[in-house]
Structure 1
Amino acid sequence: MAGKNEESQQSGASEDDEQQSEAMERQSASPDVVYEAIRLEGEEELQRPSAALFWSGLAAGLAMGFSFLAQALLQAAIPPAPWRHAVAVLGYTVGFIFVVMGRQQLFTENTLTPVLPLLRDVTKLPNVLRLWGIVLVANLLGGALFAWVLGHTELVGADVHAELRAMAHEVVAPRAAVIFLRAIYAGWLVALMVWLLPGAESARLAAIVVPTYLIALAHFAHSIAGSVDVFYLVLGAQASWGDYIHFFVPTLLGNVLGGVTLVALLNHGQVKAGEGGGG
């Protein structure tokens, strides 16, 4: 009888262990786990050679051109309707999907990833600035090359070029203060996307599409995606380099502020406070 009781207790304990194991698998990743995953990725990026960062950044800049092109293609294909913009901006997410799923270097992602190691060790600042500088220049070169080919070849028809011009003029039209504010939100959303990815698992595509769709839907300003738009005008002699600076400077500052302050610092503070409180 005692043996049966022991077997029953062992069986119950085994079932409890299995249930606890299954429950842990179904739990979302904790902030500490997400933080550590991103921090380790940041450490890895900081150790990459400059040449590798450049080529990866160039590929990302080229890929971001597809956000500009895909949205214009959809707008040209959809007849005028109240819901046209809401559908067409799905094209904007395409470049981000290519970049993130292809693990290419995009400047606005790097307002979070290498910043977490920096917040633990400020001596990494020169290496963070090296990464930022190389990736930003490479992204812009890639975007400019895509825009030049788009504007100087017969890659797309006149109807699509009309949409490309209209979209690009919308990017440079707002006042600098408005662009700056919109850029803060864009930087915030991109950094949130990066924060979501480690725990997204099978929902990685949604974790990319939802934040970037909101950026396009709300006309928020993204330094790389928006640069492709403005390069299309400038390299086609339809806007000046002054117009580009009017767009780029407040956008760059806003993206960095949104990514570093609203995501990196806040989530770093959340994790460090948890460590200080004993979990």
Structure 2
Amino acid sequence: MATQRNGIDDDRPGTDEDGVSLTAQEASEVDEKRPTSVQVLHETVRLEGESELARPASALLWSALAAGLTMGFSMLARALMFAHFGHTPAGWLLAGIGYSVGFLIVILARQQLFTENTLTAVLPLMTHPRLKTLGRLLRLWGLVLLGNLVGAALFAWGLRHLDGLETATHEALLSIGRHLIDLTSWQVFSRAMIAGWLIATLVWLIPGAETARVTMIVVITSLIGLGGFAHIVSGSAEVLYVVFSGGASFTEFAMRFALPTLAGNVVGGSLIFALISHAQVRGDRSH
């Protein structure tokens, strides 16, 4: 009779009459080479979310502030690539790769990034829907978003007033930020929804990535940069650089970028990816 390991039917040779006879060591190697089951991924991400929901407010704020500051390096690296390689055929590709710098640091350093929590912190609520859990989720989202935006704003302000910034880099920073402001609210929302979906996908895949973790982060976040998809934290740094340069107002930042981007990131990460992933696991457990 077949047994189950990690939520997957185990047809391991020796336990099924149709299998091939293997030694205990060979059978163990078969188990090690099997991909992580969706149930294991779900539980890993859910437990991570439970841990984040229980963290003190001060710890969340400081970690979120650090993440917001760090995400500024995605903006800076992208602009540097545009400034130095924008005239080459590979310029756009290099700029996309540069965009991954901030994400790489934030994720590996385990700093609090709002778009990660649109998946991790939502799964506990979907698993056990309670008003108390909803309150903890909203508390987490509010604290992390505040810290991220303050950090992004500080980075953008500091970079704008940094002496010695090359003219080409300054112009690239302005061009990137103005592009986001020039989009319609629906365009921003649509692009933000895709970005939220991609970040949630990344968070879901990381537990099973093992040695490919860095490559996975670079590939997925570079795709966000290459596609011009809107991310509430890195995008805020880009648009606020324009604001601090006098090219836009805070009202334009809030109404034309921040609000539609925030809504899109939440819809893509929570209402689409998290809901579908959770429904998949519930469907498996019902059989």
TM-score by length of 2: 0.90
Q: 1:275 aligns with which of 254, 278, 285?
A: 285
What is the number of equivalent residue pairs in this alignment? 266
Residue matched to 2:272: 262
Percent of pairs identical after alignment?
A: 47
CA distance in 1, matches of 2:266, 2:139: 15
CA distance in 2, matches of 1:82, 1:15: 53
Residue matched to 2:9: none
Higher share of residues assigned helix: 1
User: Residue 122 of structure 1 aligns to a residue in which SS?
Assistant: coil
1:134 corresponds to 2:143: yes
Matched ranges for 1:77-156 at <5 A: 77-78=84-85, 80-123=87-130, 124-154=133-163, 156=165
Q: 2:235 aligns with which of 201, 226, 237?
A: 226
User: Residue 247 of structure 2 aligns to a residue in which SS?
Assistant: coil
Q: 2:224 aligns with which of 196, 209, 215?
A: 215
The alpha carbon displacement at 1:14 in A equals: 9.6
User: Residue 137 of structure 1 aligns to a residue in which SS?
Assistant: helix
CA distance in 2, matches of 1:102, 1:158: 32
Letter in 2 for 1:255: N
The alpha carbon displacement at 1:15 in A equals: 4.7
The alpha carbon displacement at 1:79 in A equals: 5.0
The alpha carbon displacement at 1:173 in A equals: 1.2
1:252 corresponds to 2:262: yes
Residue matched to 2:45: 38
TM-score by length of 1: 0.92
CA distance in 2, matches of 1:156, 1:94: 19
Question: Which stretch of structure 1 is more off in the superposition, 177-186 or 231-240?
Answer: 231-240
CA distance in 2, matches of 1:196, 1:101: 14
CA distance in 2, matches of 1:119, 1:222: 24
Q: 2:168 aligns with which of 154, 159, 171?
A: 159
The alpha carbon displacement at 1:81 in A equals: 2.8
The alpha carbon displacement at 1:157 in A equals: 1.5
Residue matched to 1:191: 200
The alpha carbon displacement at 1:243 in A equals: 1.8
CA distance in 2, matches of 1:199, 1:17: 24
Q: 1:66 aligns with which of 56, 61, 73?
A: 73
CA distance in 2, matches of 1:155, 1:231: 20
CA distance in 1, matches of 2:164, 2:156: 11
Letter in 2 for 1:256: V
Which blocks of at least 5 consecutive residues in structure 1 are unaligned? 1-8
Residue matched to 1:4: none
Q: 1:176 aligns with which of 176, 185, 189?
A: 185
CA distance in 1, matches of 2:139, 2:121: 11
Which blocks of at least 5 consecutive residues in structure 2 are unaligned? 1-13, 15-19
The alpha carbon displacement at 1:77 in A equals: 1.4
